[in-house]
Amino acid sequence: MGDWGPVAALTERDPTDAETALLNAYCRDIAAALRAPGMVLDRDPDAIAEHLDLPAVALQNHVLMPAEYRRGGDARLARAVSGVSCVSWALVAERLAYGDTGMVLASPGPSLSSAAVRALADDAQQAWFYGRLAERPTWTFFGLTEPGKGSAAAELETTLTPAPDGVGWLLTGEKTYIGNGARAQLGVVLCRRAPGPWGIEAVLVDTADAGWHAELLPLVGLRGSRISRIRLDGMYIPPDRLLGAGRPRSRRGLHGALRTLLWFRPSVAALAVGVTHAVCDYVLEHRPRLGGGDRARLDDLIDRSMRVRRLVYAAAAEVDAGAANAHRIGATKMSAARLAEEATLLAADLLGPASLREHPWLEKTYRDVRAFEFMEGTGNIHRRGVFQGLLRGNFFPADGPADDPADGSAEDSAAGSASGSAEGSATPGRAD
C-alpha cells in the first residue's frame, strides 16, 4: 500500500487550501507504514513501544500540540501544520485510519484531554501538561465515563473533597472505558465538588501519584487502545491542578467536558470514513474486475461515504469557527460509524464465504470498526439528538444559532451519551 487506492484518491479532488494540501500529502506518504504494525498491535497491544519512531506517531502529537510546545519534526511537517484546528485533526484521523485505526488510538500524545486543557487551563497548567508531553512520548487519558452513569457529565459520582489540611483536594471514585488509562502518565478527570451541573470540576492528574489504580478491560477490537477501568482512592490533587479555577462556575468543568466532546467527535467520524475507504480499496485490490450488481453495491457505498465525508469537514469547520452544532455533529458521527460497519459486511460478502479467514486484515478491521458505534455516543443517543435538534428548530444550518455548550441543548447531545472517546472501545461504553 505505497499510496492511496482509487477510492481514497477520489477525495483528493476536493478543493482545499495550500496548508491542508500539504498536510494531506504528508499523510499520504506516511499512512501506509501503519498497516503492518497495526496487525502486530492486534496480537500484542504493547508493541506500540516498538513503533514510536514512525512519522505518523509524531504527526499526531504535533497536530494536537500548541506551537510553542512542539519539538522535533521535519520542516515539511512544520509547513503543513501551523496551529491546532479541528479540521486538521479530522484530516489526520481520516488519513491515518486508512493505514490503521488501532495505531492511531494506541499512540502517545495529547488525545482527548488536550481539548479540555485548551478550554480551561491557565498558562501555568498548560505548561505543566504540554511541557511533560514535549519531553518524551507520553500517553494521556480523559476520565469522564463512570460505571453507573456512563458519560452523563451532569450526573457524575466521582467526588472532589477538600484535603484534611485545607490545602488541595482528594479525588475519589471510579471511571471506566477509558482509552489508554492503564498506560497513561497524565490526564484530565471530571468529578463533582458540589451538587448541580455547575458543581462539576475538571482536574489534572499525574498517574504516578498515590491513590491511582488502573486495570485493562478485555477487548474484541482496537486492542491497542488499551481501554481501562480506573479507581481513584483519595488521590491528592494540588490546588494548581484544578482547571478553570478563576472562571465562573458555568464555564468550568462541565463546559470543558462538552467542549471536549464537540471538538473530538468529528475526528471519530473521520476515523470511520478513513477505514471505510481502506476497506473499499481493499475489495478493489482483490477483485479488480468487480462488475455488475456487485460493483453497483460497492459504488453506492462509496458515494454515500463521500457525502458523509463532506459532512465531517463541514462539522469540523463549524467547530473551528465557534459555531458547533451538537445535533449535526452527532448525526455525522452516527452515519460514518454505520458506513464503516456496512463496508466490512459488504467486503466479507464480495470476497467470498471464507473471506474473514483468508484475509487477516479484513478480519481485524471487521472487529475494529464495531467500536465506532460506542465511541463518542451510540447511534440511539445521536438519533435522539437529531430529533431534539429538529424539534427545537436548530438542526439545519439556517435554522438557528449554534449550540452553546453551557445550555441544555448541547448537554443533551454532547454529554447525554450514556456510552460511547475518541479513543476506541470494542466494549459497550465510552472510550475516553
pLDDT band of residue 283 (cuts 50, 70, 90) is very high
> Which pairing describes strands 200-206 and 186-192: parallel, antiparallel, or unpaired?
antiparallel
> For 33-47, 174-188, 298-312, 403-417, which range has the lowest pLDDT when averaged over its residues?
403-417
Structural domain span for residue 83: 6-113+127-133
Residue scoring higher pLDDT (255 or 427): 255
Cell 504516578 maps to which residue? Answer: 208
- Domain match, 366 and 246 both: no
- Domain match, 200 and 311 both: no
Average pLDDT over residues 209-230: 96
Q: What is the CATH number of the domain that holds 406?
A: 1.20.140.10
Specify if 383 maps to a domain: yes
- Return the pLDDT at 419: 34
High-pLDDT (> 90) share of the chain, %: 75
- Domain match, 270 and 375 both: yes
- Domain match, 174 and 265 both: no
Specify if 297 maps to a domain: yes
With beta carbons less than 8 A apart as the criterion, state whether 422 and 267 touch: yes
- Return the pLDDT at 425: 36
Specify if 118 maps to a domain: no
- Domain match, 380 and 264 both: yes
pLDDT band of residue 421 (cuts 50, 70, 90) is very low
pLDDT tens sequence across 293-328: 999 999 999 999 999 999 999 999 999 999 999 999
Q: What is the CATH number of the domain that holds 203?
A: 2.40.110.10
Domain count, the chain: 3
Specify if 121 maps to a domain: no
Nearest to 337 by CA among 101, 77, 111: 101
DSSP-assigned letters across all residues of 218-234: P-SS-GGG--EEEEEEE
- Domain match, 370 and 296 both: yes
C-alpha cell at position 223: 486492542
- Return the pLDDT at 73: 66
Residue scoring higher pLDDT (367 or 417): 367
Beta bridge partners of 318: none
Specify if 91 maps to a domain: yes
Specify if 423 maps to a domain: no
Single pTM value for the model: 0.91
Specify if 427 maps to a domain: no
Pick from 250, 276, 305: which residue ends a domain?
A: 250
Average pLDDT in the chain: 89
Residues written for the chain: 432
Beta bridge partners of 142: 188
- Return the pLDDT at 78: 78
- Domain match, 223 and 277 both: no
With beta carbons less than 8 A apart as the criterion, state whether 122 and 247 touch: no
pLDDT tens sequence across 244-257: 999 998 888 888 88
- Domain match, 270 and 411 both: yes
- Domain match, 145 and 203 both: yes
Specify if 351 maps to a domain: yes
Pick from 228, 250, 272: which residue ends a domain?
A: 250
- Domain match, 238 and 259 both: no
The CA distance from 280 to 6, in Å, is 9
The alpha carbon torsion through 192, 197, 199, 204 (nearest 10 deg) reads 60
Handedness of CA 89, 90, 93, 98 (dihedral sign): negative
- Return the pLDDT at 17: 83
Nearest to 372 by CA among 426, 311, 323: 426
Nearest to 105 by CA among 424, 340, 364: 424
Pick from 64, 99, 133: which residue ends a domain?
A: 133
- Domain match, 259 and 363 both: yes
Residue 70 region, left (φ>0) first, then alpha (ψ -120 to 50), else beta?
beta
High-pLDDT (> 70) share of the chain, %: 91
- Domain match, 303 and 375 both: yes
